[in-house]
Chains A and B, each alone.
Chain A
Amino acid sequence: MKNKTNFNSTFYLLIIPVFIWLIFMIVIPHIELLISSFLVEDDMGEMVISFDNYIEFFSQKIYWLTFVKTAAYSIGVTLLAFIVAFPIAFYLTKVASKKSASFLILLLIIPLWVGELVTVYGWMVLLGDNGVINHFLMSTGIINTPINMLYTDFSMVIGLLYMSVLFMVIPVMSSLESLDDSLIEAACDLGASKWVIFTRIIIPYSMPGITSGSIIVFMLVIGDYLAPNLLGGKNSLWFTEQIYNNFLQTFNWNEGAAFGFLLLILSSALVWVALKLSGQKLEKVGS
Chain B
Amino acid sequence: MIRSLPDSFIYRITYNAYVLLFFAFLVMPLLAISVLAFNDSNFISLPWNGFTLDWFFSSTDERQGLFSDEELLASIVTSLTTGFFVAIMSTLVGTLAAILFEEEQFRLKGLLYFLALAPLVIPGVILGISILLTATAAGNHIEDSFGLDIELFRPSYWLVVLGQFSFAATYVMLLVSARLKKFDRTLEEAALSLKATRLEAIWYVTIPFLRPAIIGAFVVAFILSFSNINTTIFLIGSDPTLPIDLYSRIRFSSTPVLNAVSFMIVLAITALAIINVFVNGSKK
Contact = CB atoms under 8 A, between A and B. Distances in A.
Interface of A: 3, 6-7, 9-11, 13-15, 17-19, 21-22, 25-30, 32-33, 36, 84, 87-88, 91, 94-95, 97, 102, 104-111, 113-119, 121-126, 128, 130-132, 135-136, 162, 181, 184-185, 188, 194, 197, 215-216, 219, 222-226, 230, 240, 243-244, 247-248, 253, 256-257, 260, 263-264, 267-268, 271, 282-283, 285-287
Contacts of A194: 1
Interface residues of B, number: 94
Nearest to A30: B130
B90 to A, nearest CB: 9
Among B5, B92, B272, the most chain A Cβ lie within 10 Å of the Cβ of: B5
Interface of B: 1-5, 15, 18-19, 22-23, 25-30, 32-33, 36, 43-47, 92-93, 96-97, 99-100, 104, 106, 112-127, 129-134, 137, 162, 165-166, 169-171, 174, 177-178, 192, 197-199, 202, 223, 226-227, 229-230, 233-234, 243, 246-247, 250-251, 258-259, 262, 265-266, 269-270, 272-274, 276-277, 281
B227 A247 contact: no
A64 to B, nearest CB: 18
Nearest to B23: A107
Given A22-B116, A87-B15, A263-B125, A15 B277 contact: no
Secondary structure dominating the interface of A:
helix
B96 A17 contact: yes
Most buried by B among A6, A114, A126, A216: A114
Which 9 interchain pairs have the tightest Cβ spacing? A122-B29, A223-B123, A115-B227, A29-B130, A25-B166, A135-B46, A10-B198, A130-B45, A286-B174
B246 A18 contact: no
Contacts of A282: 114, 117, 120-121
Given A33-B129, A87-B18, 18 more contacts: A3-B198, A6-B198, A9-B199, A10-B197, A29-B131, A30-B126, A36-B133, A102-B281, A113-B223, A113-B272, A116-B227, A117-B246, A125-B36, A126-B32, A132-B32, A188-B5, A263-B123, A283-B117
Nearest to A34: B130
Contacts of A115: 223, 226-227, 243, 265
Given A18-B112, A131-B45, A185-B4, A118 B262 contact: yes
11 contacts: A3-B198, A17-B93, A106-B273, A111-B29, A119-B30, A125-B36, A128-B45, A132-B46, A197-B1, A257-B129, A287-B174
A155 to B, nearest CB: 12
A48 to B, nearest CB: 16
A100 B236 CA distance: 42
Contacts of A7: 198
Contacts of B177: 287
Contacts of B134: 28-29, 32
Nearest to A187: B1
Nearest to A8: B198
Contact of B127 (A19, A29, A84, A130): A29
Given A6-B199, A107-B27, A116-B227, A268 B18 contact: no
B32 A18 contact: no
B33 A121 contact: yes
A236 B23 CA distance: 27
A114 B104 contact: no
Nearest to B263: A118
B1 A188 contact: yes
A282 to B, nearest CB: 5
A116 B231 CA distance: 13
A280 to B, nearest CB: 13
Contact of B170 (A84, A117, A286): A286
